[in-house]
Structures are given as structure tokens and as C-alpha cells.
Amino acid sequence: MSAPQRTARKQVVIVGMGFGGMHAARELAGSQCEVLLLDRNNYHLFQPLLYQVATAGLEQESIAYPLRALIRNWYNLQFQMREVTGLDLDGKRVLTDQGAVEYDYLILAGGSVTNFFGNAGVARHAFDLKRLADAERLRNAILTTFELAVQEADPQRRRELLTFVVVGGGPTGVEFAGALAELIRYVFRKDYPDLNLAECRVMLLEAAPTLLGAMPDRLRRYAEKRLRQMGVEVRCNCLVADATQDSVVLADGETIASRTLFWSAGVKAAPLADLLPGEKGPGGRVVVTDRLTLPGHDEVYLVGDMACALHDGKPLPMMAPVAMQQGRHAARSIIVREQRAAPAPFQYVDKGSMATIGRSTAVAMAFGLSFSGFVAWLVWLLLHLYYLIGFRNRAVVLLNWAWYYWFHERQVRLITAASGRNTSGGADGQDSNL
């Protein structure tokens, strides 16, 4: 495919349509620039709810939205489904699997991939959640495991099948562990009456001394207490050293017999970051200027998980709210520069963070306040509905949540493909799209 013809209007290319790229595109809609969106998927994925797809709570389609439908009424935006293979910064070109694309301004919103910290065994055998296919594969594995367990006569092998290890005590690990525990307690109890579900183990392992390390101590203790009440075995100061097809090996030598290992212990910048010059920060992120530009190339902006930007002297976390604000700032900076004005430095506004633990239970902090329980859960629910794209998606998600709230049922208990341990050697992040 040939590159789009250049016009007198400046060409902005946005790589990656995760949270950062989408918010940059929305800000540039209606501007005097021509905007080209590049992504290897034709949809925007709402990653924070992937764990609910994996635990049979939501359909895949309810958390994804077609990009062409998103930009349908934005006359100055175009989308092309391409795989980015490299960059020619001096020539101002993005190299893709279908030829080069020229740009005047470039916004790199490549996102992140799972960080297995060089552990080949874990990378080979663990599941992660970065793509839509990852959630479906993990759901298939969980459901298949129970189908096998109900037919397994050997008690030891059955316990191995019914042991689920979750590594990483951040929001994703906490939310997944809580959702899986509730799936077993409320749904599988009815689906598998012949199974002794007291044999089921959901283990949450965290290398740090506490869960949810970025939250106040009161919320950390509340989250751990609630998870334990739900039957989750929480172990802090617990480091995973290796994994095999049927076991998880801890750093102290203990071996946990398990067929299902879910890894949420860290992320790193998408591989595209390795192609960029300059200093790298934690997780391989590219250190950017205070205006989110690549040092030495002020026409190149980095936003989201690829960018290492400082706030109060520390790198900003790799979270969706950061990517959203950075995407909007990069787009506004380009508009300001085209008006022959100087853009302002990026200022991050910390609106807090939250995590849901289970039905009617969550923890949240915002603007110096912290709260937990039903109120936090209600705020979590409303904010996630607000940030979902599309009326249909919001309606479907709300209906599924209401159905589960009142009836303790999850409707998406479908095994759509044969499954086993993850053999992909890791997964690419949706935001990366590269």
C-alpha cells in the first residue's frame, strides 16, 4: 500500500490506539492537521476490564470498539491497520509492513508488554492479560480445568488442577484473584455439584511486603483482609523463581503444584522503545522532555507506557489515566505549535487510583481522600462505565454487572478453543499495537 499523499496541512501520525493514542486523536479531531492513525488491530480495547472477560463476566466484544466507527465523524482523521516495524527519525518516516508513512509530527503511544524479568520458564508457562485473545485463552483454560477436574479420579492430580496461582499484588492481580474466587464460590459451586470446591485454592503471591503498594496502608490492609475472607490465600514477600507445566517454584525452594499460573507482576515498554535513541528509564521506557518530546526530536511525542516522564521527581506510573492526560497534552501541544505559540510543559494531575476486590467491595483514593467498601465499588463501577466507548458497550456491561449482582451468575462460561498453559512466550500489550 502506498503512503498517503501529503497535503499543505501538517500530517500527524499516531502509532497505537490505546488510551494515549485515542485521547490524542480525539483532541486533534477538527484541527487544521491531517491525522493518520496506525494500529495493528482495528479496535480500541478497554484493558482494565480484560480480567472480567477472563473470569467469564463479560463478552470480548463489550470491551472493544471499532476504530473506524470511532472516527467516522472526525473528517480530518484516517485509520490504517498496519504493523509498525521501525522508525526513520531523520527522514521523518514511520516504517510499516505495508510501506513507509511520512509525518510532520509523530505521537508514539506504543504502550507496554508483560515483563517476565527474563524468566524463561514463567514466560513460557504463565498466562497474562494484555490482549483480547489473552483473556479468551485464560477463560478457556479456567473452564477446561474444571471440566477435567470433575472427571479426575486421582485426588492429587485433582488438587493440582484446582490450584490457581496469581502473581502480582497490584490492581490487576487483586481484581483477578477476587473475581476468580467469586466465580468459584458462587457460580462453579452450582455448575459442578460433584466437585468438592474446598479443594480449590486461589493463591495471590506478591514479592513486596504488602498488596497495592501505591495505596495508603489502611486500604492495603482492607484489601488483604477482604481477599482472605473470600478464600484467597495471600502471600507477601513471596518471590517466584520458575514455572513448569504443572508447578510454580518459589525462590525459597517451595514448589506449588498448579496447572494455571497468571502473571501480573510487571510491565515494560513496547519493543518499539528499543529503536529510539536516548536515555531509558525503568521498564525500558524512553526518558522524555518536560513537554513529552523525544530529546533531539521535538516533533516526536511519546505518551503512555512508552514514556518515562517525571512527577515530583519520580517516573509516572504506567497507568491508563497517565496515558490519557499525556495523549491530550501532546495533541494540544501540536495545535499550539501550529498557531506559532510555545506549548506548556506537561503537568500531571493525580486523580487517584482504585481497585475492585469483589461484589460490592473496592478500595479507592482520590484527591487525598481514601475510601473502601460499597461506596468505593460504586465509584469504580460508574467511572469504568463512563470511560467505556459506545452506548451499546456500556449497556451490555451494565446489564452483565446487574445480572451478576442480583443472581450471582456469569453468562459467558464458554470454552471456545482447546487451551493449556500459555505457550506464546509472552504477550504484546494492546496499547503497543506494534
Asked about 175 being catalytic, the answer comes back as: yes
Locate 53 and state its grid cell. 472477560
Report the 3 state secondary structure along the chain. CCCCCCCCCCEEEEECCCHHHHHHHHHHCCCCCEEEEEECCCEEECHHHHHHHHCCCCCHHHHEEEHHHHCCCCCCEEEEECCEEEEECCCCEEEEECEEEECCEEEECCCEEECCCCCHHHHHHCECCCCHHHHHHHHHHHHHHHHHHCCCCCHHHHHHHCEEEEECCCHHHHHHHHHHHHHHHHHHHHHCCCCCHHHCEEEEECCCCCCCCCCCHHHHHHHHHHHHHCCEEEECCCCEEEEECCEEEECCCCEEECCEEEECCCEEECHHHHHCCCCECHHHCEECCCCCEECCEEEEEECHHHEECEECCEECCCCHHHHHHHHHHHHHHHHHHHCCCCCCCCCCCCCCEEEEEECCEEEEEECCEEEEEHHHHHHHHHHHHHHCCCHHHHHHHHHHHHHHHHHCCCCCCCCCCCCCCCCCCCCECCCCCC
Q: Which of 333, 251, 254 is nearest to 288 (CA)?
A: 333
Q: Which of 34, 59, 175, 182 is catalytic?
A: 175
Query: What is the residue type of 284?
Result: G
Query: What is the residue type of 302?
Result: L
- For the stretch 61-65, contacts whose Cβ atoms lie closer than 8 Å and that sit 24 or more positions apart, written own/partner, are 61/393, 61/396, 62/393, 62/396, 62/397, 62/400, 63/132, 63/388, 63/393, 63/397, 64/132, 64/393, 65/389, 65/390, 65/393
Locate 285 and state its grid cell. 521506557
Residues acting as catalytic residues: 175
